[in-house]
Chains A and B, each alone.
Chain A
Amino acid sequence: DTEVTQTPKHLVMGMTNKKSLKCEQHMGHRAMYWYKQKAKKPPELMFVYSYEKLSINESVPSRFSPECPNSSLLNLHLHALQPEDSALYLCASSQTRGGGTSPLHFGNGTRLTVT
């Protein structure tokens, strides 16, 4: 079982809806990530939070709004999405110590469909 939990597993939303993706980890990791993965493509980094502060935003459109309320939780708020935003959204966490040596631990993802 994965130690990073994402909810919901599946989400269908219209272009005018507002929804949120949730991610939770209890491994004591202080870095958390959102990745977007289109079918048959590799994951692409969207956001990185380090110690609950946004440290990397990979030029993601403002219709995606991340939030890190505490060290265990990471949310991704969605508003006015487009059909091309349909994808698997993966959350991950990692230790912050050890430089670039710590692996990212991923959740099972949320499969998002925008109609």
Chain B
Amino acid sequence: AQKITQTQPGMFVQEKEAVTLDCTYDTSDPSYGLFWYKQPSSGEMIFLIYQGSYDQQNATEGRYSLYVHKARKSANLVISASQLGDSAMYFCAMRETKALNSGGSNYKLTFGKGTLLTVNP
């Protein structure tokens, strides 16, 4: 079963407007983290914003805001005042605990399929 779902393969937004990128997640791990990454055509994965399962308030980093609705298991990214440089692929990701055969545990980051955002002038 897919754990991270991004249902918008592509989105368009006018420069200076706000845009919401959708993400839903599924986990039974009580301790998890939700992340958004930006990947321009150059290939680098750029960390944008994070919110943990125990955080009470939604996160904001500059023009990026992450709205998590636990009952709906959604983790939507809002980009305000879009800029041409925001055109890129955006990935939602979830970090869960993975039990190891050795008896310990480690953390696994799983990505959604991504949303390609195009900002129009």
Q: Which residues of A contact B31 (CB under 8 A)?
A: 99-100
Shortest CB distance B25–A (Å): 13
- Which range holds the interface residue count of chain A? 20 to 34
User: Taking each of B97, B110, B111, B112, which has the highest tally of chain A beta carbons within 10 Å of its own beta carbon?
Assistant: B111
Q: Range of interface residues on chain B?
A: 20 to 34
Given contacts A42-B91, A105-B47, contact A99 B110 (CB under 8 A): no
Q: Closest approach, in angstroms, between the C-beta of A101 and any C-beta of chain B? A: 5
B69 near A: Cβ within 8 Å?
no
- The answer, yes or no, to whether B106 is at the interface (CB within 8 Å) is yes
User: Chain A contact residues: over half helix, strand or loop, or mixed?
Assistant: strand
B window 28-59: CB within 8 A of A: 29, 31-33, 35, 37, 42-47, 50, 52
B111 touches A101 (CB 8 A): no
Q: Which chain B residues border A106 with CB–CB below 8 Å?
A: 37, 44-47
Cβ–Cβ contact A107 & B33, under 8 A: no
Shortest Cβ distance from residue B21 to the other chain A in the assembled complex, whole angstroms: 14
Residues of A within 8 A of B (CB): 2, 31, 33, 41-45, 48, 50, 55-56, 88, 90, 92, 94, 99-101, 103-109, 111
